[in-house]
Amino acid sequence: MELYNGERPSVFRLLEKYMRKGLYSILTQGPIPTHIAFILDGNRRFAKKHKLPEGGGHKAGFLALLNVLTYCYELGVKYATIYAFSIDNFRRKPHEVQYVMDLMLEKIEGMIMEESIINAYDICVRFVGNLKLLSEPVKTAADKIMRATANNSKCVLLIAVCYTSTDEIVHAVEESSELNSNEVCNNQELEEANATGSSTVIQTENMESYSGIKLVDLEKNTYINPYPDVLIRTSGETRLSNYLLWQTTNCILYSPYALWPEIGLRHVVWSVINFQRHYSYLEKHKEYLK
């Protein structure tokens, strides 16, 4: 938590910034990931480790998030995605779910502030997932910040809430099926009209099910695009936990042992170095998958 801890004198923060610039100038000699995704794992363990009150780990985690996003955007990463709240998290104790929702509401409202990181880096914020599961206040706040930042174009922050990858895939299939069904219906109507010389209405309920879903349609209808180049999950876990299962075919997975509130610049830098080391292979594999 080097940037947003409110403790270091401004002269030291300025010195840190210039040191980071020197480091970035070296890293940018190689390829930089377009998209880095994060699983914010370890907030509760951090609170237990440091004997913090309930919710203290999530607050420390939010400070770490601001720092990590700053590092990414300073480095030239265009997209960052965070796994903020899984659909499966609704199985936790009701008071814990409510606390996370209240914290999310507080932080969303804070993001709109003039001096926030969102305005400093011209970030477009997008909430993705099954958003109808959000509480009404959080959904309203999310809509507000998405509208407020819609014209920002330098960087994009994707916040996955009420999200699981399986739900995302079901959503993509449903959207693609509906699109293809409409296309088939329109094509049949056109063929009938050409054959009879008149306009004929085809009843969609009498159509046979159409399964010709194209891969490009599925990819277009997933919640999270473009696909991440690097996925970082803290606390040493290597499980994806139902996150970005579709999008991580060609992605570097980095699992530092640090808990999420402990993540720092060195972890971001090391993930970029790993990406650069494997860049040639990743590009070849990407071409192979086309």
| Residue 200 to residues 64, 185, 189, 191, 193, Cα–Cα distance (Å) | 61, 11, 6, 9, 6
pLDDT confidence of residue 46: 95
* Structure confidence by residue, pLDDT tens digits, 38-54: 999 999 999 999 999 87
267 neighbors 256 (Cβ within 8 angstroms): yes
Give the ranges where the chain is alpha helix by DSSP (H): 10-27, 43-49, 56-75, 94-111, 117-120, 136-148, 165-196, 215-220, 265-277, 279-289
- 183: pLDDT confidence band, cut at 50, 70 and 90? low
| Distance between first and last Cα of the chain | 40
Mean pLDDT of 74-80: 96
Q: What is the pTM of this model?
A: 0.84
121 neighbors 77 (Cβ within 8 angstroms): no
What contacts 113, CB < 8 A, 6 or more positions away? 119
Q: What does the mean pLDDT of the chain come to?
A: 85
Is a pLDDT exceeding 60 seen at residue 208? no
pLDDT confidence of residue 199: 45
What contacts 137, CB < 8 A, 6 or more positions away? 105
Least confident piece of the model among 136-145, 178-187, 267-276: 178-187
- Percentage of residues of the chain with pLDDT beyond 70: 84
- Percentage of residues of the chain with pLDDT beyond 90: 58
- 193: pLDDT confidence band, cut at 50, 70 and 90? low
Tokens representing 40 are 């914010």
Is a pLDDT exceeding 50 seen at residue 70? yes
167 neighbors 87 (Cβ within 8 angstroms): yes
Tokens representing 31 are 């390829």
What contacts 167, CB < 8 A, 6 or more positions away? 87, 129, 130
Q: Which residues are catalytic?
A: 41
pLDDT confidence of residue 49: 94
Is a pLDDT exceeding 80 seen at residue 112? no
Tokens representing 118 are 């969102």
pLDDT confidence of residue 210: 46
- 206: pLDDT confidence band, cut at 50, 70 and 90? very low
152 neighbors 122 (Cβ within 8 angstroms): yes
Sorted by where each begins, the domain ranges of the chain are 30-163+229-289, 164-191+211-222
Is a pLDDT exceeding 50 seen at residue 203? no
- 187: pLDDT confidence band, cut at 50, 70 and 90? low
Classify 30-163+229-289 by CATH class.
Answer: alpha beta
Mean pLDDT of 263-273: 96
Backbone angles phi, psi at 253, to 5 degrees: -105, 125
CA 20 to chain centre: 24
Tokens representing 174 are 């449903």
* Structure confidence by residue, pLDDT tens digits, 83-104: 999 999 898 888 888 888 988 8
* Structure confidence by residue, pLDDT tens digits, 3-37: 555 555 678 778 888 899 999 999 999 999 999 99
Is a pLDDT exceeding 50 seen at residue 222? yes
